Structure 1
Amino acid sequence: MATVLTDDPQTQAPHAVEAELNYLQAGEGRPVTYTFEPPPGTPWTSGTLEPRRVRISDARPLAAAGALSLHTSGFERVAHASALRDFSDDSAIRSIYYPEAEKLLLSVTGAGKALIFDHTLRDSQNGSRATASLREPVRRVHNDQTFVSGPRRVRDHLPPAEARQRLRHRFAIVNLWRPIDVVEQLPLALCDSRTIAPDDLVPSDLVYRDKVGETFSFTFNPAHRWYYFPKLRPDEPLLIKIYDSRTDGTARLTAHTAFEHPETAADARPRRSIELRALIFWPDSEA
């Protein structure tokens, strides 16, 4: 059961809700998640989840004031309408959406090169963890890469000589997350990177048919500050930092998860979204 919280007239806190987020229970070791049907007797995901009731604030007022950004809080809302209307066509996603997403990423970050390496479609009604072409929303607190798998992505997707050169300078991995319809159920909760401590991060294996990737799970920390964008529209994509090589106080990553909003109507439309992950490279002058 979740609770709706009203504005606090003394602190001028934004509208917020209380809801449960699924953290990893502390002391569980290294979780393993399969992206395909696991062997008989093996769970899809290991590690015990620990639901925690947290406050999730409306991010819109802070975003409008410029208080939330990709490099400070680890996430940012941008204004961008896609030319693509039919996201069921994989070839159209690659031929239309990828190029426009690359231009958007370069424009927002000021980087010199963007390399999109995958995308995922999600649908809360028709998606399944067993269906690679259409996944269900993820309802556990996580980040898509780690400090080990981030650099590995550069080596995976660039020729060896270019990878060595790029790894000597600043690069990042960004998730461009866009709703396909206005979000009415299972909105995305995003954690302010500045409230995450190193001990909150738990490296976790993500098993594909041909390789094992690495993501971060998170244990609960009462210092975490969570936000969401109510009724997020398709022309309001989010940029989510999932890796940054900089260690100077720039947001290196953040945590995110789908959550059950207490005001969700019984007839709310299913949540449909597309997330696209890209390597971002800055000029050689940036270390």
Structure 2
Amino acid sequence: MTAADRSVTAKLAGFYKPGADACQFGDSGWMYDMFARGQAWRAIPKFLSWCVSGNVIATLKWMATEGHTTTIHDARALEAREGLSKADFFHKFGFVLLDHRSAMTASDWLDSGEAFLVDETGTGAEEQARFYMAADTPAKRIYAAECEALLRELFPGAHDFFLPGLGVRRGPDFYNLYGATVHADFPVEFELAGEMNPWSDLKRQREIFLESDASEFYQVNFWRRVLPMEGPVKANPLCFGDPRTFRSEDLIKAEMTGQVSGGQMYLAARHHPDQAYYHYPDMTTDEVLLFRNAHYRKGDEDNGDVPVFHSAFVHPETPKDAEPRRSFEYRVGFLL
């Protein structure tokens, strides 16, 4: 460890035990209303319905996770040691930090956050997917073009970009909680990812990919600290796993219903001591983290690359008066 290396030791949450099987959290809307939105009057009727739904045992299994203390390595120091171009670093590790100042304002980020719940709107899955992609937001009008330009630099020859109108806004002025368990957003099987996440538009994107001459489909997650934060991220920073250190047996499918139309399926992880985790200390609003959300190849699209697992974590050096984290993640697909 060099003097400039800012690796830390911290506890990561959300791991399943080695013998754990695929898990499901049915009728999860009550927990979301209670803890994310702070609206007990909405949560109580849903909780009572959940109690008699037959999903209690399955949910308890879903919640049966454990934490593990691990070293979270300094990704800035890693980039310096590797000495690679940004593109080569991303292709080797599945993540990279880029310098980028966005034209988005504080209100733009808020106006571009996901803000729909099926239990309130009754919106069907197909309509929800169309809204997710086509919503007329600042992200669609401003940020989409910025992200496409960055991807064209990393992936010469990329085309057919799938640029959504909405992203995930987190912070004290928005209702999304910090994602504080180790997870990846979609399973490694392309067809399953689309079918089990109908809100995501992945089903349509897969069909376009299969009918195209492209040989690869990527989805890259753009994660950044956003205005009105004034200082660098100190509280609840993001860490992420080196996907090369995850074995296929470390991956476990986790399903959740009750929040978005058609439900959602993501990947949780079984802990293994060889897994390596990283973070970029003190990210600013002039930086953006890109990491691989999905990578599928033509002819083998149900055996995709391991995505980048990620989680917020409690940094042991977080000041007591640290500014709350405000962040935005934006998932962009494209063909290659």
TM-score by length of 2: 0.70
* Mapped partners of 1:167, 1:145: distance in 2: 24
Gap change, CA 1:206 and 1:279, over 3 Å in 2: farther
Deviation at 1:127, TM superposition (A): 4.2
Gap change, CA 1:179 and 1:166, over 3 Å in 2: farther
Match of 2:276 among 225, 232, 236: 225
- Over residues 216-261 of structure 1, what are the superposed CA-to-partner deviations in whole Å (9 max), with x where a residue is unaligned? 00011100111111110111111111111147xx954121100000
- Name 2:263's counterpart in structure 1: 212
Tell me, yes or no, if the aligned pair for 2:73 and 2:279 is still in contact at 8 Å.
Answer: yes
Unaligned runs of 5+ in 2: 32-45, 113-136
- Name 1:280's counterpart in structure 2: 334
Matched residues, number: 264
Match of 1:96 among 96, 119, 142: 142
* Higher alpha-carbon deviation: 45-54 or 179-188: 45-54
* Mapped partners of 1:205, 1:230: distance in 2: 32
Match of 2:187 among 130, 135, 146: 146
* Mapped partners of 1:99, 1:35: distance in 2: 35
* Mapped partners of 1:189, 1:92: distance in 2: 27
Gap change, CA 1:191 and 1:57, over 3 Å in 2: same
- Name 2:130's counterpart in structure 1: none
Deviation at 1:49, TM superposition (A): 1.7
- Name 1:121's counterpart in structure 2: 169
- Name 1:132's counterpart in structure 2: none
Quick check: 1:17 aligned with 2:65? no
TM-score by length of 1: 0.81
Deviation at 1:150, TM superposition (A): 4.2
Deviation at 1:92, TM superposition (A): 1.9
Structure ID, larger Rg:
2
SS in 2 for 1:51: strand
Tell me, yes or no, if the aligned pair for 2:100 and 2:288 is still in contact at 8 Å.
Answer: yes
* Mapped partners of 1:275, 1:71: distance in 2: 20
Structure with greater strand share of residues: 1
SS in 1 for 2:311: strand
Tell me, yes or no, if the aligned pair for 1:171 and 1:280 is still in contact at 8 Å.
Answer: yes
- Name 2:238's counterpart in structure 1: 188
* Mapped partners of 1:164, 1:122: distance in 2: 34
Match of 2:21 among 23, 29, 52: 29
Quick check: 1:108 aligned with 2:154? yes
Gap change, CA 1:253 and 1:155, over 3 Å in 2: closer
| Percent pairwise identity | 25
Quick one: which amino acid aligns to residue 161 of structure 2?
Answer: A
- Over residues 31-61 of structure 1, what are the superposed CA-to-partner deviations in whole Å (9 max), with x where a residue is unaligned? 3346633642367882312110000111112
Match of 1:49 among 46, 65, 88: 65
The aligned runs of 1:147-166 (5 Å cut-off) are 147-148=188-189, 149-150=192-193, 156-158=203-205, 160=207, 162-166=208-212
Deviation at 1:97, TM superposition (A): 1.5
Quick check: 1:265 aligned with 2:265? no
* Mapped partners of 1:281, 1:252: distance in 2: 18
Structure with greater helix share of residues: 2
Unaligned runs of 5+ in 1: 1-7, 129-134, 283-287
Q: What is the root-mean-square deviation of aligned Cα atoms in Å?
A: 2.8
Gap change, CA 1:209 and 1:84, over 3 Å in 2: closer
Gap change, CA 1:159 and 1:175, over 3 Å in 2: closer
Gap change, CA 1:28 and 1:254, over 3 Å in 2: same
* Mapped partners of 1:202, 1:82: distance in 2: 36
